[in-house]
Structure 1
Amino acid sequence: MHEIASVTLHNEMDLILANKRSMRLAELAGLSLAAQTTFATAVSEVSRYAIERGLDACLTLYITDSNESVQSLVAQIARGRFFISNHDDEAFEYARRLVNDLLITDTAKGSQITLRCHLHNNRKISSARAEQWSKQFVSEPPVSPYDEIKRKNAQLLELSERLRESEQHYRSLTDSLPVMIFTADVDGRLTYANERLIHYTGQSIKTLNQTKWQSITHEDDFDRVRAVWAAATPAGRPFQYELRLKEATTDDYLWHMVWVTTDTATHEPQWTGIIVNIHAQKLIEQTLSDNKELKYAKQQLEKYQRELESSIRELNRSNTELSQFAYIASHDLQEPLRKIQAFGDVLLAQYSTQLDASGADVLHRMQNSANRMQHLVKDLLTFSRLTTRPQSLRPLDLNQILTDVLSDLEVTISDKQASISIEPLPTLPGDPLQLRQLFQNLLSNALKFAHTDRLPAIKVLSTMVSAGQLPTTVSLHNHRPYYALVVADNGIGLDEKYSERIFQLFQRLHNRRQYEGTGMGLAICKKVAENHGGTIAVHSQVGEGTTMTVYLPAD
C-alpha cells in the first residue's frame, strides 16, 4: 500500500482535519461527491470514537497497489497501546454501512481499525500517481490555523529529533524559531530552554527549576498542569495542555499551548516541548462563547416577553370582567336596593301606625340593612374604579383638595366639636378624584373613631423625607424624593399587630353597632397611594390615637 497522509487524533480540530484529508483523497481518486462524503463520514465516525475515548491514535490514509484485483482507499486508525472492548459500538456499526469493509484487528500490541472503500476497476491509480499525491498533501496550504500550527509542530518536533545529538546546531535552530522550546528530564526539570523562552519568562533555567514554573504559571492552571505531567510521564506518551504564562515585560498572563513528546529509546528519556502563543485564539473562543450566552439570554428574554404578553392579556381580560362587575354594581345592584328603600319608606309613612312594635323593629332593621348594602356597593364601585380607571396625573394643590373635603365634612366636624390643625401642604402630581377620596376617608376615620373622654383633635401636615426615612417594609424608588402626608388624631387608637389587616378589603376591628362602615375605607386609601407610586403606613397605640402617613413621590 502507498501511504498518502496521516493525522494524529487528539481533539475536535484533529477530527476536522481527518474529515478534510479523507474527503480530499476521495476527490483525487475520482469518486463522486456522494461517495467522497460517505467515505469521509465513515472515517470521521471512527476517528471521533478514538478521540472521545482518549485512545491517543493516529489516522493514516493509503491507496492499495494497482495490481490488486480491486484497488481501494484505506483508512487505518492505530498507534500506541489501545484496545477496543466493544467491536459492535454504534460508531463502528454506522461506519460499516458506509464503506465496503471495516475490520478491527486485535493483537498483543493493541487494536487496529481498517476501513476500505473500493475504486472503479476502470480507474487504476499507479504508484507514481500515489507518490505524487503523497507529496501534494505535504505541500498543500494548511486548511486552518490549527492545521498550520499542527504542521509546524510536527516539523519542529521532527527537527528537534534530528538535531538532538548536535546540541549546538539544535540551539542555533531553536533560538531562531518564533516559538518557545525546551527539553526536560523524566522529573520535569529543564535541561534546555531556547532564548525565546528565557526572554519571555525573564527567568533562567535554574530559577524555573527551583520554582517548578510556579512563579510564571497562573495560579488557576498550576495544579492542573502538574497533574497532566504526573499522569503522562510514566506511560511515556506524548501529551499537550493549555496554560497561562506570565510575560516578564508586562506581567500579563497569556494563553499558550504546550506540545510535549519523548524519546524513550535513549537511556535517559528526554522530553521535548514546544510552547505556542494561542492568546488571540482563546480570545476569539471566549467571544464566540459570549455570543452563545448572549443568544441564549436573548432567547430567554423573548420567552419571558411572550409570558409577559400572555399575562398582560389575562390581566386585560380580568380588568374587563372587573369593569363589567363595576357596571353591575352601579346599576343592576343599586336599582333593587333603591326599590327596597323606597318600599320601606312607603311602609314607614303609610302603614307604621298599623304595625306593632315587633313589626316596626323588623322594618327598621330592613331599612338599615339596605342602607349598609348600598354603602358597601358604592365602596366596591369606588375600589374597582381605582383598579381599572386610567390615571391622568397632573400637578395638584393639596391645600385646595383638603379645603373641599373639610367643606363636605363640615356637619360631622361641627357635631363632633372637632378641632382640626392644618399646616401648608405641597403641590403633587396626582388624580384629583382619587386624592380627594384619600383625604376624605382618612379624616372620616379620624372623626369616626374619636375617644369618648375627649373632643377630637386632628392634625394634617406634610414633610419631605429622605430614603432612610421611608418604611423598611415596602420597596419604593428610593432615589426619588417623597413627601410624607400625615393625618394624626387623638382617638381610640389600635393595636399595631393589626397594621397590615386594616388595609385589606372588608376588614373591621370593631363591632358594626359601635362604629358603622363597610371595612373598605383604608383599602381604598392604600390603593390610591399605590396608584400614585407610593404607600401608606400606620402608627398607633390603643387609647392614644392614630397617625396615618401616606408616602407619595414629589415628582
Structure 2
Amino acid sequence: MNLPYKVPEPSHWLHCDDETFVLPDGTGEKFYRDLLMESPVAMAIYTGPEMCVRLVNEAMLDIWDKNNGVIGKPLLEAVPELSGQVFSTLLDGVFTTGIPYIGTEDPVRIRRKGQPDIRYYKLIYKPLYNESKLLYGVMSTAVNVTDLVLAREELRETEKLYRNAVDVAELGTWSKNLRTGFVTYSPLISEWYGLPAEACSMAVFHGCIHEADQQRVAALRQQAIDTSGLYDCTFRVVNKTLQKEHILHAKGMVITGKDGQPESIMGMARDITLDRMTSMQLEELVQTRTQALAAANKSLRQINDNLQQFAYIASHDLQEPLRKIITFSGILQKTQAHQDTSGQLYLGKISGAAQRMSHLISDLLDYSRVENSKAVFMPTRLQDILQNIYIDFEVLIHQQHAVIETAPLPEIAALPLQMNQLFYNLIGNALKFTRKGIPPEIKLTAAMLTPEEVQEYSLPYSTQPYTHIVIQDNGVGFDPQFAEEIFLIFHRLHNYQEYEGTGIGLALCRKIVENHGGRIYATSNKEEGAAFHILLPLSRP
C-alpha cells in the first residue's frame, strides 16, 4: 500500500503517471530514458510494493550479469541471487517511509559467469513521487567501490603485519611534528620514557634524555633536519615516573612537506639496555679470563722450565746412581755366585728394579722431547726407517721365527728420529705381545686416503693428502673397550712380570703422530691380534 509522504518542494520535480514520465518543462519519456540509459553510473527504477524493474541501464545489468529480460519483473524474481541479502529490506524501507538510503560500501554477492562473486558498491535508494505527492517507486544508483575497499583492506592488513612485526621486535615508534612541536608515540615509548599515553610536547619528550646525552642527541637531530636525512643515535633516557634508566637505539627519517621544508621526523627505537649490560659483563669476564690466562701462561712457562730442569736431572743425576746400582749389583752377583742363594735373589730383584727405573726415565725423556720438539721437518722415506728397525730387531725376529710382510711405504715430511721411535715401538709391541707357542706374523700395508675420508676423520690438515698405514699382528690383542685407554701414559693392560714395559710406549706413539698432524687408533679382539692404524700427511701446509 502506497503511503502519502510530504517533502519540501525541490527546484525541479520528476512527475510520473501510470505510463509516461514527464519533466516540468514538458520533456517526454524519451529524454529521461536516454539520460538514464546513457549514464555511466548503474541506475534502475523499481515501482510498486514488489519493486518491479521498470527501467534499468546497461551498467546495472552488467552488475547483475543479466539482460533486458528482467524488465517488468519483481527485483528478487529478476535477480534471485539477491534473495537473503539486505537489499529487499532496504528498498521496502525506502518505499514505505520515503526516507532515502545512502550506503557507502555495501557488499553485493551475485553470480557472474556462473561463479560466485562479491563486490562492494556505494548504493543510493531515493523515493519517487507522482504529481499528487504520492510515493510510487524507488530510484537506485550503484557506484563500484570494490577496488577502494580491497585496497583499504590490504592497507589494513599491511598495517596489522607492521604492528605485529614492531611488537614482536619490541620496537617503539614515534613521530615528531616539527611545526606543531608535539610528539606522538607508541605504548612502549610511553613505558620507557614514563610519559602520558600517545602524545606530549617535544620539550617534555627531549627532557627525558639523560643530561649527559642531551647535547649530542640534539646535534645529531639537528643535523638530520638540516640535511633532510636520517637520524641514528644511541642514548640514555630516564623514566619520569620510576627514575629508571634505559639505553635506547633510535633511528628516524626526516619528512618534508609540499614546500620542501622539514615537516616531521618519524622513526622507531629499541631498548638495548640488556644488550649493553650483557656486553659490559662479557667484557669484564673476558678481561678477567685474559688476566687469568696470562697468569696461567706464566705458571705454565715456570712449569716448563721446571720440567726442562727435571729432564736434565733425570738424564744425568738420576741415571748415574741407577747405573752404579746396576753395576755393583751385577758385581756382587758374580763375586758372590756361590754364596747365599737368598742374597742372589735379592740382588737380582735390585738389579731388575734399577733397570726398569732406568728404562722408565729414558722413556719419559723421549716423551718430553716429543712434547716440546722444535726440530725441522724434512722429507723422510718411511721404507728406510722400517729397514733400520728390522736390523735392530734382527736377532729377536730370528729367535721368534717371526714373519713380517711389508708393502711399500711413502715418503713424508717428518722428523726422522720420531718416525724411528714410532715404528720401533709399534713393531716392538707386535714382537712382544705374542701368544705362547705361536710365531708372530706382522703385516704392514699403506694406502692413500680419499679427500672424503680426510674430512670424515676430521684431520687437521684437511687440504693435504694423507697416507693410511696399518700394522697388523696375530698376538694377544686386547678387549675393544680399552682401544682408547692403551694410548694413555702409564696405562698397562698386563703386569710387567708377564710383559715388560713402562706403559709409555703407545702414549709416545700417539704424541708423535699428533705432532705430525696425524691420528692413530687401534682395533682388536682379545686373543685375535691387534691392528694399529696410522694416518699421516705426506706434506705440511
TM-score (norm 1): 0.50
Matches for 1:347-366 after TM superposition, within 5 Å: 347-353=332-338, 355-366=339-350
Residues 172 and 187 in structure 2, CA contact (< 8 A), matched pair in contact too? no
CA distance in 1: counterparts of 2:501 and 2:479, whole angstroms: 19
Residues 322 and 388 in structure 1, CA contact (< 8 A), matched pair in contact too? no
1:240 paired with 2:173, answer no
1:381 paired with 2:336, answer no
What is the CA deviation profile of residues 18-61 of structure 1, one whole-angstrom value per residue up to 9, with x for unaligned ones?
xxxxxxxxxxxxxxxxxxxxxxxxxxxxxxxxxxxxxxxxxxxx
CA RMSD of aligned residues (A): 4.1
| 1:437 aligned residue | 421
| 2:213 aligned residue | none
1:218 paired with 2:162, answer yes
Partner of residue 324 from structure 2, selected from 335, 339, 344 = 339
Change in CA separation of 1:220 and 1:485 when aligned onto 2, cut-off 3 Å: farther
| 1:536 aligned residue | 520
The amino acid across from 1:344 in the alignment is S
Matches for 1:24-43 after TM superposition, within 5 Å: none
Residues 462 and 485 in structure 1, CA contact (< 8 A), matched pair in contact too? yes
CA distance in 2: counterparts of 1:343 and 1:464, whole angstroms: 53
Residues 323 and 388 in structure 1, CA contact (< 8 A), matched pair in contact too? no
| 2:231 aligned residue | 281
**Local SS of the residue matching 2:158:** coil
CA distance in 1: counterparts of 2:171 and 2:442, whole angstroms: 79
| 2:41 aligned residue | none
Structure 1 portions without partners, runs of 5+: 1-202, 230-236, 244-258, 263-275
Change in CA separation of 1:350 and 1:485 when aligned onto 2, cut-off 3 Å: same
Matches for 1:412-451 after TM superposition, within 5 Å: 412-451=396-435
CA distance in 1: counterparts of 2:485 and 2:418, whole angstroms: 22
Partner of residue 323 from structure 1, selected from 297, 308, 311 = 308
Change in CA separation of 1:452 and 1:228 when aligned onto 2, cut-off 3 Å: closer
The amino acid across from 2:426 in the alignment is L
Change in CA separation of 1:446 and 1:213 when aligned onto 2, cut-off 3 Å: same
What is the CA deviation profile of residues 300-346 of structure 1, one whole-angstrom value per residue up to 9, with x for unaligned ones?
87776655544433332222111111111111111111111111121
Matches for 1:29-428 after TM superposition, within 5 Å: 206-207=149-150, 209-211=152-154, 213-215=156-158, 217-218=161-162, 220-221=164-165, 239-241=184-186, 280-282=230-232, 308-353=293-338, 355-428=339-412
Residues 225 and 241 in structure 1, CA contact (< 8 A), matched pair in contact too? no
Partner of residue 515 from structure 1, selected from 496, 499, 506 = 499
CA distance in 2: counterparts of 1:475 and 1:225, whole angstroms: 42
Residues 458 and 487 in structure 1, CA contact (< 8 A), matched pair in contact too? yes
The amino acid across from 1:514 in the alignment is E
Identity of aligned residues (%): 34
Change in CA separation of 1:452 and 1:421 when aligned onto 2, cut-off 3 Å: same
Residues 459 and 517 in structure 2, CA contact (< 8 A), matched pair in contact too? no
CA distance in 2: counterparts of 1:339 and 1:554, whole angstroms: 45
The amino acid across from 1:521 in the alignment is G
The amino acid across from 2:389 in the alignment is V
| Deviation at residue 490 of structure 1 after TM alignment | 1.0
Change in CA separation of 1:240 and 1:209 when aligned onto 2, cut-off 3 Å: farther
Change in CA separation of 1:302 and 1:461 when aligned onto 2, cut-off 3 Å: farther
Partner of residue 449 from structure 2, selected from 460, 465, 486 = 465
Change in CA separation of 1:227 and 1:379 when aligned onto 2, cut-off 3 Å: closer
User: Which of the pair is proportionally richer in helix?
Assistant: 1
| Deviation at residue 435 of structure 1 after TM alignment | 1.0
TM-score (norm 2): 0.51
Residues 440 and 474 in structure 2, CA contact (< 8 A), matched pair in contact too? yes
Change in CA separation of 1:502 and 1:439 when aligned onto 2, cut-off 3 Å: same
CA distance in 1: counterparts of 2:327 and 2:496, whole angstroms: 24
CA distance in 2: counterparts of 1:502 and 1:520, whole angstroms: 9
Partner of residue 526 from structure 1, selected from 506, 510, 524 = 510
